[in-house]
Structure 1
């Protein structure tokens, strides 16, 4: 019997969360062309019929072990509200957190920082709407997600340099849009550390 990727005892009983993670791993493998579509249904039958973690590992046989950034889209509720404001003050969202599908950032005579480098997403597609009025917002994105920037600067700057496509099937997609009026919205990539 194959051992599971985490190296734990394969005889340990599998939880519903373990089964869902294995099912997502199989679907991602199909999206990436690693597993043929015709094998998905029989493998999912194995996953949902598995009693132990070892049986789950067998259902995922032939697939690489999950890496530290796998499962960027999670079935968990967002850990941040949909509206974040820095008015005569500031806000910070960073570390491990779950991003809502729509997030509105408002900086007025204040500033804010949003760091997605360790974040997980509650949806495959995320929209970040940001408004900077006489204020500023900095958004840091990792290099393994697709990013589109559609913002507009009027007597201000709306940085679009972090926009890119990874070309990786199944990568989460983030659209950043909004307005910088006498203010700035700055985007940066977490691996390069250079602001645009």
Structure 2
């Protein structure tokens, strides 16, 4: 892998935490004011790649107390992650295999099992397949999407490899998640089909419980930093 491609690799939660720690140090040292800190802090947790994270701290020195510099090397997942995925891949299990929306909509979310092959058909309608908490009936599942003046959105959790093979005619197939390596033992999702005057989107999101936890942590961190700032001003 060449250096030019490294900034395009996906960042992990640990990478974002390292950048957030550098921002906290910069705020404490007076290098950032509160408004700048808030803007960069929010951008840190929205960042998806190493390149985006590097821009956030490009004008800040890494202090001696800051965590180790941002690493552009992707480390293999731990055995615990593999075990978690093995529990969610239920080979041979009977899962949901289709969703149809005609001038309406369908959704699959929460705890459910997606079959080895899932067919989605949307005619002037829409569908959503949320795989963040789903089980998989096979290590590789294929979602075949056929839309006419409609759309389907597929949500995958971090660690799942995605490949898109679809065609959009006066529409589009989202392939932004292609090429992102999956975790060892994680399922692979293939999205294929045809979008005619419609669209198929693929996006990667944290599980909802994890999203809520991180939002709560960010709110608490902002509250604590603002309180510390006020106390320092009062002492001055």
TM over 0.5, yes or no? yes
Distance 1:166 1:88, change over 3 A: same
Query: Are 1:141 and 1:162, in contact at CA under 8 Å, matched by a contact in 2?
Result: no
1:138 and 1:108 map into 2 onto residues whose CA distance is 14
Q: Match of 1:86?
A: 101
Alignment of 1:35-74 (within 5 A): 71-74=87-90
In structure 2, the residue corresponding to 1:71 is in which secondary structure?
helix
Q: Match of 2:186?
A: 171
Q: How many residues align?
A: 133
- CA offsets 1:123-165 (integer angstroms, 9 cap, x no match): 1110110011111111101111111111111000111112234
1:100 to 110, 115, 118: 115
Residue 162 in 1 paired to residue 177 in 2? yes
How big is the alpha-carbon RMSD for the aligned residues of Structure 1 and Structure 2? 2.8
**In proportion to residue count, which structure has more helix?**
2
Greater radius of gyration (CA): 2
- CA offsets 1:56-110 (integer angstroms, 9 cap, x no match): xxxxxxx759876552212462342x22110111100000111100000011111
Identify unmatched segments of 5+ residues in structure 1: 1-31, 35-62
Q: Match of 1:153?
A: 168
Query: Are 1:107 and 1:133, in contact at CA under 8 Å, matched by a contact in 2?
Result: yes
TM-score (norm 2): 0.50
Identify unmatched segments of 5+ residues in structure 2: 1-75, 209-236
User: Moved runs in structure 1, 4+ residues, more than 6 A?
Assistant: none
Query: Are 2:92 and 2:137, in contact at CA under 8 Å, matched by a contact in 1?
Result: yes
1:126 and 1:148 map into 2 onto residues whose CA distance is 11
2:182 and 2:85 map into 1 onto residues whose CA distance is 16
Query: Are 1:85 and 1:91, in contact at CA under 8 Å, matched by a contact in 2?
Result: yes
Q: Match of 2:202?
A: 187
1:94 and 1:76 map into 2 onto residues whose CA distance is 20
In structure 2, the residue corresponding to 1:162 is in which secondary structure?
coil
